[in-house]
Amino acid sequence: MTPVLRIAVQKKGRLATGSLKLLEQAGLGISPNPGALTCRARGLPFELLFVRDDDIPSLVAKGVCDLGIAGENVLREEALENAQDGKLQTVRALGFSHCTLKLAAPKEGTIKTLADLQGCKIATSYPQILAKYLQDQGIKAQCVTLKGAVEIAPALGLSDAICDLVSSGATLAANGLADFATVMQSEALLVRNDTSWDEAREALLARLLRRIDGVIASRATKYIMLNAPKDALDEITALLPGADAPTIMPLAGRDDQMAVHAVCRETIFWDTLEQLEARGAHAILVLPIEKMMG
Ligand code: PRT
Ligand code: ZN
């Protein structure tokens, strides 16, 4: 019997869209009904379970789900808190929901460095990560655990500083806070439990991972097409970022020009296009790549 792998994903929030988009691009074929808690994929034998992100680590660790997509911050906090649960293995870093767990304090206050935290109160939703970090840094401070609205804690007199996730930095600025140290970087991770799976389940995961790798690789990869003067070909192909072995073809009726096509595995910035143009390249097209394999 074909196995069905169950993946825990966030129902609603900053991870939800990225998780669904990635799985959809990997060809799972998912169209959840609004409000549904589960959804069976049409393209591959997977089932999605829609939950709060905080529940994902333990659902996977306990074997209720085989796989899960969660933020590194939540996974680390849970691992430190529930060391007795089964262990989770990271199978892929997924490259979305990037953020940084930072220490911050009122801009106009006296806390400017880590050393200034000695004996202070710090509000956070990540008490385990913070406690470990402070211990590693040799700082004795008190953690005040809040589930949300951490940024307002200093203004309410609940804490002297905060330790919270930052992406654009707008929330810190809006609350008159300035960051002064990074506790950890985070992104969405695909995790599995460390129980042993039978061959069919391992093969299904391997198939999903191969597709996910293709999706991730194609994000930064572009197909570039341009026409270039023959005598500038070396210079022009050397400018193509992360391109190996471009295809070079003659242009009908133009002896002095060649067409260059290449897969660029690194971001093509506007600067690069300007440099290509300065060396005589023209009719430059940069196209997205939808899928990659091999
Ligand atoms: O309902 P559920 O429990 O599932 O969701 P949640 O409200 O606990 O989490 P959610 O959806 O807010 O975040 C899910 C995950 O997204 C987090 O665990 C992180 O891994 C990741 N992520 C990425 C972020 C942010 N960026 C982020 N900016 N999580 C939270 N924030 C918050 C932060 O706490 C702060 O309040 O956004 C604010 C700061 O944002 P900026 O842009 O102003 O700096
Ligand atoms: Zn949550």
Domains defined for the chain, CATH in brackets: 5-97+188-218 (3.40.190.10), 99-186 (3.40.190.10), 220-288 (3.30.70.120)
Q: What is the DSSP string of 48-70?
A: EEEE-GGGHHHHHHTTSSSEEEE
**Ligand 1 contact via 170 beta carbon (within 6 Å):** yes
Confidence (pTM): 0.90
- 189 vs 23: CA distance, rounded Å: 13
Pairing mode of beta strands 5-10, 67-71: parallel
Could you tell me the distance, in angstroms and rounded to a whole number, from the CA of residue 119 to the centre of ligand 1?
28
pLDDT for the residue 66 = 97
Ligand nearest 15 Cα, by number? 1
Using a 10 angstrom Cβ sphere, with 0-12 exposed, 13-18 middle and 19 or more buried, the burial of residue 234 is: exposed
249 is written with which tokens? 């073809």
pLDDT in tens, 43-65: 999 999 999 999 999 999 999 99
- Closest approach atom of ligand 1 to CA 16: 11
CA atoms within 13 A on the CB side of 210: 8
pLDDT in tens, 208-238: 999 999 999 898 899 999 999 999 999 999 9
Enumerate residues with CB within 5 Å of ligand 2 (an ion).
53-54
pLDDT for the residue 266 = 86
Residue among 156, 147, 153, 53 at smallest CA distance from 103:
153
Residue among 31, 24, 20 at smallest CA distance from 211:
24
**Ligand 1 contact via 162 beta carbon (within 6 Å):** no
